[in-house]
Chain A
Amino acid sequence: MSEFKPAPANWWVVAHREFRQLVRNRAYVITTVIGLLLLIGLSFVPALLDYLASRDAANPVEIVVVTGPEWGTEQWHQQMLRQQLTEALARIPAAFRPSWRFITPAESMSSTVRALPPTADWDTAQQQLDPLVKEGDIDAYLWFGQIDGSLTVRLTRQEVSDTEMGFVRAIVEPLAAARRAQEAGLTPEQIIALNTPTQVEGRDVNPRFNDRTQVFSMILTYFLLIALYMAAILYGNMIAMGVVQEKNTRVVEMLVSAARPIHILVGKVLGIGLAGLLQFGIWTAGGLIVTLSSGRLQQLLPLEDGTSLLAAIPLPILLYFTLFFLLGYFLYAVLNAGLASMASRIEEMNAVIFPSITLILIAYFLAFASFTRADNPLVVIGSLIPFFTPMVMFSRVILIPVPAWQVALSVVSTLLTILLGLGVSARLYHANVLRFRRVSWKEAWRSLRRGQRLPGV
């Protein structure tokens, strides 16, 4: 009889069971795989965008430039206009520039277009060219001329978008202005002076970021915040579900007869937390491997040639993420475990874990408020309140420099809240776990206040 091997501490036995059951669960395996596929897919998105862009560049929209008689009857007039348009197009920043190519009628593939007279008034142009656009023989034409005495430019395509019209306006307006100036008798020097663009500049006095790292860290923070939020909701829900199911199947009485409530809670929170960490670890590792091997990251991130990937995601961000991930998980998991003991059936679960869901949502929105202004007093105060710290302090600390004492204070107070929460939850659990019905808030509060501070808890 004494040959029994002692088992590990019973909180560890509970943790071990939770972990094993969860990682063998089909839903867990499926979400892990789907998440991994999604991440791998996402890492191909930049490549896909590049591919689409290069396909666009290889097949630009050909826009035939057609002028009315007022513009000048010689062929070189058209060629010059085409030249000016092409130059104006080139001045648009590459990232936004539409994939267009301006051609003169003479350069067109279509014999009908080539046969056009050097100038065509609107009626002629419309009669001749509209059917060609409709049939798809040419992509588009841009007509310059006078209508009712005013300079008019018309773009004709199968479908014209507002964006395209914006580009046309940006390209044509300076040309038109120059032409009016010429007609008014200004000298070429005066025209150039008139057209010299004003220098508009933005200056950044915070030396911490340049533009690209600022944008990068915002995007990164955004994604990591979503990860924190998902982890809090997803794993918090799993904890609550576990507690309710144990009540529902009545196995809980066997549990509490063998282990103290606080050990059961610690075991549950640890076991599911480990499974959650494993899942996030798999996703992170998978994402890193794919991005690394495809070499795409080098182009996505503000990297000098030859810098390694780990230098790309700043180590402090990774460490802060891990820290706040753990704090957030444990805080909400502990809360959920206690609250869930008030329900006996899965249908009642959402009603009882509602307070912790609300806290998570508030934290999430506060964290987002920090994107617009990270020194917003509401955000600063929020980041110091334990229930919001994991998300709000995380985004603050990454977006702007935060005094070290604030970070330390928030972390310590969150840790204390977790410990306190564990005590309160264990009491709530102990008081409610054998009430096989929905426990009201009043009852729950009473059982907490009555303070069954007995050695068994």
Chain B
Amino acid sequence: MGLAVKEVSKSFGDIAAVRKVSLDIPPGIVYGLIGPNGAGKTTTMRMIMTILNPDRGEITWKGQPVYKVASRHFGYLPEERGLYPNMTIRDQLRFFAALHGISGATVDREIDEWITRLDLTEHAGKKIEELSKGNAQKVQFVAALLHHPELLILDEPFSGLDPVNVRLLKSALLHLAAGGTSILFSTHRMEHVEELCQRLALIRGGEIVAEGTVDEVRRSTGRMFLRLQLDCEGNGTAACLRTCAGLPEPRQIPGGWELELPAGFDPQQVLRQALEAGTAITRFEVTPPSLEDVYISVMGGEAGNE
């Protein structure tokens, strides 16, 4: 049993930021919380961190209410980044480690390890105000995890980082996950999700609209796509397909053609018909929509208010 968020709601004045959200995050996995800005990701995370109190519902970690464990066992990188501008990296990291309940030589050694791992060595003695935004963000990331949290919560951890730092951070996350840390992070960039997450939830307007493994979420819409490449007597795929009744017009994609299968249409029918006609089949793939397609179809109009 890991993190259990049960029917949690939170309103600010008349605005319902989170409505009956339930999440079940098993320990030791990387979990993505996906949705546009204003969907309720940050509010949900703040409630898990006990920074906000839910109006209704309850949140537990391994069966314990979160307010008992959050400060010691959770680590948090807020979306609003910020550190003490006039403290050095080391002082700052020591301070946050101590605030989470740990100190001593081991912390100092781990601070050095992280400084090396995240390529901050040349800045180690500097004050935060002297650092670039990306470097400060990496320092803050370290501040969130020095106390070896069981659950690490990262709100938009990749936003504002250049590709080199994105890669550094990803490998750091995978390193932590391999060590058994549960990670919950929010993003609206699908490539991070597919690369990192074992499970994810799509959240829209304060409600969870899809939840599960990447594959489950992709299949959750019920839509299926057929990607194929055919060659019938010199005719292209599109021409071949027109012979097959009830299929929409395909569109060209790299390495072939794609079309959405109408509900109830058996893709094997296309295969059979092609074989009977002696058509050469170089690609045939039945696949749920990509995560990005799911995201766009689910978020619909809301994707625009980024």
Contact = CB atoms under 8 A, between A and B. Distances in A.
Nearest to B106: A3
Nearest to B54: A454
Contacts of A7: 97-103
Q: How many of chain B's residues touch chain A, expressed as a range?
A: 35 or more
A14 B51 CA distance: 18
Contacts of B101: 6-7, 10
A254 B82 contact: yes
Nearest to B53: A454
Interface in A412-433: none
A445 interface: no
B67 A259 contact: no
Interface string A287-316: 000000000000000000000000000000
Contacts of B76: 253-254, 257-258
B106 A5 contact: yes
Q: How many of chain A's residues touch chain B, expressed as a range?
A: 20 to 34
B109 to A, nearest CB: 10
A143 to B, nearest CB: 73
B71 A249 contact: no
Given A6-B101, A249-B83, A257-B71, A452 B95 contact: no
A4 B99 CA distance: 13
A421 to B, nearest CB: 22
Interface string B23-65: 0000000000000000000000010011111000000000001
Nearest to B153: A257
Interface in A1-23: 1, 3-8, 10, 13-14, 17, 21
B106 A4 contact: yes
A5 B103 contact: yes
B95 A13 contact: yes
Contacts of A250: 78, 80-82
Nearest to A8: B98
Interface stretch (B84-92, B165-173, B225-233): B84-92
A249 B82 contact: yes
A1 B110 CA distance: 10
A253 B147 CA distance: 17
B20 interface: no
B102 A254 contact: no
B96 interface: yes
Nearest to A434: B51
B51 A5 contact: no
A5 B104 contact: yes
Given A249-B84, A258-B71, A259-B99, A4 B53 contact: no
B70 interface: yes
A6 B51 contact: no
Q: Which of B65, B70, B76, B84 has the most CB of A within 10 A?
A: B84
A8 to B, nearest CB: 7
A197 interface: no
B9 interface: no
B143 interface: yes
A28 to B, nearest CB: 13
B65 A455 contact: yes
Contacts of B71: 10, 257-260
B87 A21 contact: yes
Contacts of A246: 84
Contacts of B96: 254, 258
Nearest to A258: B99
A436 interface: yes
Contacts of B103: 4-8
Nearest to B72: A258
A456 interface: yes
A452 B52 CA distance: 10
A254 B83 contact: yes
Contact of B49 (A1, A14, A21, A257): A257
26 contacts: A1-B148, A3-B106, A4-B106, A4-B107, A5-B102, A5-B104, A7-B98, A7-B100, A7-B101, A8-B98, A13-B98, A21-B84, A21-B86, A249-B83, A249-B84, A251-B82, A251-B83, A253-B51, A253-B82, A254-B140, A258-B76, A258-B99, A436-B80, A454-B53, A455-B67, A455-B68
Given A10-B100, A249-B82, 12 more contacts: A4-B103, A5-B105, A6-B103, A8-B98, A249-B84, A253-B80, A253-B82, A254-B144, A257-B49, A257-B50, A257-B51, A259-B99
Interface of B: 46, 49-53, 65, 67-68, 70-71, 74, 76, 78, 80-87, 95-107, 140, 143-144, 147-148
Sorted from nearest, which 9 A-B pairs have the closest CB atoms?
A: A250-B82, A5-B104, A7-B98, A253-B78, A7-B103, A4-B102, A257-B76, A251-B82, A250-B80
